[in-house]
Amino acid sequence: MAENAGTVRPDRPGGRVLRWLSTAEAVLGGLLLATIFVLMLVQAGQRYLPGGGWVWTGELSRFALVWLTFAMSGYLMQRDEHVTLKLVDQVTRGVWRRVVASFAGVIVAFVCVNLAYEAFVLATEPSSQVSPAIGIPIGYFYVIPLVGLGLTAVRSVLAVVASWRTAGKERSS
């Protein structure tokens, strides 16, 4: 998107909040990655010990991988490090690049809002279903995707606004 998309300026409105959110998302992502690593080590070690293994370690590590994906999506969106087709950035220039980036940002925001709505419905819907090994109500597992998708949608809209705001500054200088 913008050349300085990865920087959050604290003097801008909401800059401190976005910086705090980025830090919180990075910490959560690191904790989830460490959790996956430790649980995989435990599973590998259980193979060489007598007796049965802990089934919940595999289940929790799979959930942590999904949570990691959604928790880091907003962070990556803000820093312009998400999965993109860089060919479009190399082929287009100027206003066309901003148009394509804006269109992509709007589509991402639209999809994230729809998915966040579905995650909200799944998180708040009363259900007697629980995870097989851990026994946690299944609705709890949709909270992190709900927050991650919401933050990704917000950051996608902010990236669209920032790209056109910087374009206006470039023309006036």
Domain assignments of the chain as residue spans, ordered by start: 15-172
pLDDT one-digit tens code per residue, 156-170: 999 889 888 776 666
Provide the whole-model pTM: 0.80
What residue has token string 């917000």?
Answer: 154
Confirm if 105 and 78 have CB atoms less than 8 A apart.
Answer: no
Confirm if 114 and 150 have CB atoms less than 8 A apart.
Answer: no
Q: Which two tokens stand for residue 165?
A: 């705001």
One-letter amino acid for residue 2 of the chain: A
- How many other C-beta atoms are found inside a 10 Å radius of the C-beta of residue 72? 21
Q: How far apart are CA 142 and CA 47, in angstroms?
A: 31
pLDDT of residue 24: 93
pLDDT one-digit tens code per residue, 10-67: 455 567 888 999 999 999 999 999 999 999 999 999 888 887 788 899 999 999 999 9
Q: How far apart are CA 27 and CA 22, in angstroms?
A: 9
